Amino acid sequence: MTYQLKISPEAKKTVDALREQGLDIPSSTNVVMPQLPSDITQLSDEELMELFTAITAFLDFISYQVSLADIDEKALEKQLDVAVAVATANQPKGLASVIKAAALADPKVVDLSNEHSVAYNYRKLISTMADNLTRDLSLVSRELTRRTADNSPMIRSRKFIS
């Protein structure tokens, strides 16, 4: 399966600026979202390293998506603030609470508020996914460390002792 980065028009400007500097970010990945087995100790050393590599690659990709989601959320937040300000300024004079309520009921403000909520929710979920992958990577790393700390002949401190 191929996963594509979700790049909004606002975020595309940033991606394009990076690419102009020669700092390319992947727009997709073919790495399947890795899953930890129920017992990581049952994996062979090779399987464990493959899992470590897969988690690292997928986390790299998801980290870009988290950043793009942050950009989208901030852009919508700014648009929403401007729309509220414009809607507030367009209200007739009166009580501040009535003016604010009328501005928040403005159709453009309502639409942008809904879009902002979607962007916020997406960013929260993709951030959670990145956090989970980071914990998985730590677990795999700890298992790798545990294995190399055991009586492995490849340990540098024991390399010359037979």
Do the domain assignments include residue 122? yes
Do the domain assignments include residue 60? yes
Tens digit of each residue's pLDDT (9 = 90 or more) over 1-18: 899 999 999 899 999 999
The pLDDT confidence band at residue 103, using thresholds 50, 70 and 90, is: confident
- 89, 104, 72, 119 alpha-carbon torsion, rounded to 10°: 180
Indicate the number of domains in the chain.
1
Q: Once rounded to an integer, what is the mean pLDDT over residues 93-115?
A: 89
Do the domain assignments include residue 160? no
Q: Are 37 and 43 in contact (CB under 8 A)?
A: yes
Do the domain assignments include residue 25? yes
- Spatial separation of the C-alpha atoms in residues 15 and 67, rounded to whole Å: 11
Do the domain assignments include residue 43? no
Sign of CA dihedral 122, 64, 30, 146: negative
Q: Once rounded to an integer, what is the mean pLDDT over residues 86-107?
A: 85
pLDDT greater than 50 at residue 52? yes
**Three-state SS at 37:** coil
- What residues make up the domain containing 140? 3-35+49-153
Let me know if 38 is exposed, middle or buried by CB neighbors in 10 A (0-12, 13-18, 19+): exposed
Distances (CA, A) of 157 to 22, 49, 119, 148: 42, 22, 51, 11
Do the domain assignments include residue 23? yes
Do the domain assignments include residue 41? no
Q: Are 69 and 122 in contact (CB under 8 A)?
A: yes
The pLDDT confidence band at residue 159, using thresholds 50, 70 and 90, is: very low
The pLDDT confidence band at residue 75, using thresholds 50, 70 and 90, is: very high
Do the domain assignments include residue 158? no
- Spatial separation of the C-alpha atoms in residues 20 and 162, rounded to whole Å: 55
- Spatial separation of the C-alpha atoms in residues 4 and 102, rounded to whole Å: 40
